[in-house]
Structure 1
Amino acid sequence: MTESQYDVTIIGGGPAGMFAAFYCGLHELHAQLIESLPQLGGQVAALYPEKQIWDVAGLPGVTGQELVDHLKDQLKIAPVDQFVNETVDDVIKEDDGTFTIKSAERTSHSKAVIIALGNGAFTPRPLALDGAKELEGHQLHYFVTHKADFAGQRVAVFGGGDSAIDIALMLEPLAKEVYLVHRRNQFRGLEHTVTRLKQSSVQLVTPYLPKSLQTTADGAVTIGLKKMRSDEETTLTVDQMVVNYGFTSNNAALAKWSLDLASERRLLKVDSTMQTSVPGVYAIGDGVTYPGKAALIATAFGEAPTAVTALAKQLYPDKRMATHSSSMHIKQK
Structure 2
Amino acid sequence: MSSLFDVTIIGAGPVGLYTAFYSGLRALKTKVIDAEPDVGGKIRYFYPDKNIHDVGGIAEITGAELVQNFKMQAETFEPEFVLGKRVTSLIKQQDEIFLLKTEDGELHYSKTVIIACGSGTYEVNPLIAENAALHHAKTHYHLRDLEQFRGKKVVVSGGGDAAIDAAFTLLPIAKTVDLIYRGENFKGYEKRASDLLTSKIQVHLQHEITALNEGSELETVTVCAKASGEESTLSCEALFISHGVEVDFSFTKNWGLHTADWGIQVNPFMQTNLPGVYACGDAAAYSRKIRIISAGLHEGAIAVNSAKQYLDPDAANEAMVSTHHDHFTN
Q: TM-score, normalised by structure 2?
A: 0.93
Q: Check whether the contact 1:77–1:331 (CA below 8 A) recurs between aligned residues.
A: no
- Residues 196, 79 of structure 1: alpha-carbon distance in 2 compared, 3 angstrom cutoff: farther
The one-letter code matched in structure 2 to 1:107 is: L
Task: String of CA shifts for 1:255-278, please: whole Å, max 9, x gaps.
Answer: 44xx31111226211110111110
Which secondary structure does the structure 2 equivalent of 1:234 belong to? strand
Instruction: Indicate yes or no: 2:283 matched with 1:287.
Output: yes
Q: Check whether the contact 1:44–1:64 (CA below 8 A) recurs between aligned residues.
A: yes
Q: Check whether the contact 2:8–2:33 (CA below 8 A) recurs between aligned residues.
A: yes
Task: String of CA shifts for 1:123-154, please: whole Å, max 9, x gaps.
Answer: 11111112213322x11111111111100000
**What is the alpha-carbon distance in structure 2 between the residues aligned to residue 183 and residue 119 of structure 1?**
25
**Structure 2 partner of 1:99:** 98
**Structure 1 partner of 2:179:** 180
**Structure 2 partner of 1:68:** 67
**What is the alpha-carbon distance in structure 1 between the residues aligned to residue 302 and residue 15 of structure 2?**
12
**Structure 1 partner of 2:298:** 302
Q: TM-score, normalised by structure 1?
A: 0.92
**Structure 1 partner of 2:112:** 112
**Structure 1 partner of 2:139:** 140
The one-letter code matched in structure 1 to 2:281 is: G
**Structure 2 partner of 1:246:** 244
Instruction: Indicate yes or no: 2:79 matched with 1:80.
Output: yes
**Structure 2 partner of 1:194:** 193
Instruction: Indicate yes or no: 2:10 matched with 1:11.
Output: yes
Instruction: Indicate yes or no: 2:122 matched with 1:126.
Output: no
**What is the alpha-carbon distance in structure 2 between the residues aligned to residue 332 and residue 189 of structure 1?**
44
**What is the alpha-carbon distance in structure 1 between the residues aligned to residue 46 and residue 160 of structure 2?**
16
**What is the alpha-carbon distance in structure 1 between the residues aligned to residue 93 and residue 213 of structure 2?**
59
**Following TM superposition, by how much is the alpha carbon of 1:215 offset from its aligned partner in structure 2, in angstroms?**
3.4
Q: Check whether the contact 2:178–2:202 (CA below 8 A) recurs between aligned residues.
A: yes
**Structure 2 partner of 1:48:** 47
**Structure 2 partner of 1:331:** 328
**What is the alpha-carbon distance in structure 2 between the residues aligned to residue 102 and residue 230 of structure 1?**
54
After TM superposition, list the pairs within 5 Å mapping 1:313-324 onto structure 2: 313-320=309-316, 321-322=318-319, 324=321
| Range 247-256 or range 83-92, more displaced | 247-256
**Following TM superposition, by how much is the alpha carbon of 1:95 offset from its aligned partner in structure 2, in angstroms?**
2.2
- Residues 124, 322 of structure 1: alpha-carbon distance in 2 compared, 3 angstrom cutoff: closer
**Following TM superposition, by how much is the alpha carbon of 1:211 offset from its aligned partner in structure 2, in angstroms?**
1.8
Q: Check whether the contact 1:220–1:238 (CA below 8 A) recurs between aligned residues.
A: yes
Which secondary structure does the structure 2 equivalent of 1:157 belong to? strand
**Following TM superposition, by how much is the alpha carbon of 1:227 offset from its aligned partner in structure 2, in angstroms?**
1.3
Task: Report the RMSD for the aligned CA atoms in angstroms.
Answer: 2.0
The one-letter code matched in structure 1 to 2:256 is: D
**Structure 1 partner of 2:37:** 38
**What is the alpha-carbon distance in structure 2 between the residues aligned to residue 262 and residue 80 of structure 1?**
28
**What is the alpha-carbon distance in structure 2 between the residues aligned to residue 66 and residue 97 of structure 1?**
39
Task: String of CA shifts for 1:225-254, please: whole Å, max 9, x gaps.
Answer: 121211332111110111111111112333
Percent of counterpart pairs with the same letter? 33
| Range 169-178 or range 205-214, more displaced | 205-214
Q: Check whether the contact 1:285–1:300 (CA below 8 A) recurs between aligned residues.
A: yes
**Following TM superposition, by how much is the alpha carbon of 1:306 offset from its aligned partner in structure 2, in angstroms?**
0.8
Which secondary structure does the structure 1 equivalent of 2:147 belong to? helix
The count of aligned residue pairs is 328
Instruction: Indicate yes or no: 2:271 matched with 1:270.
Output: no
The one-letter code matched in structure 1 to 2:110 is: S
Which secondary structure does the structure 1 equivalent of 2:281 belong to? coil
**What is the alpha-carbon distance in structure 1 between the residues aligned to residue 259 and residue 75 of structure 2?**
34
Instruction: Indicate yes or no: 2:238 matched with 1:237.
Output: no
The one-letter code matched in structure 2 to 1:230 is: S
**Structure 1 partner of 2:218:** 220
Q: Check whether the contact 1:126–1:245 (CA below 8 A) recurs between aligned residues.
A: yes
Which secondary structure does the structure 2 equivalent of 1:330 belong to? helix
Task: String of CA shifts for 1:257-311, please: whole Å, max 9, x gaps.
Answer: xx31111226211110111110100011212211001222222111100100111
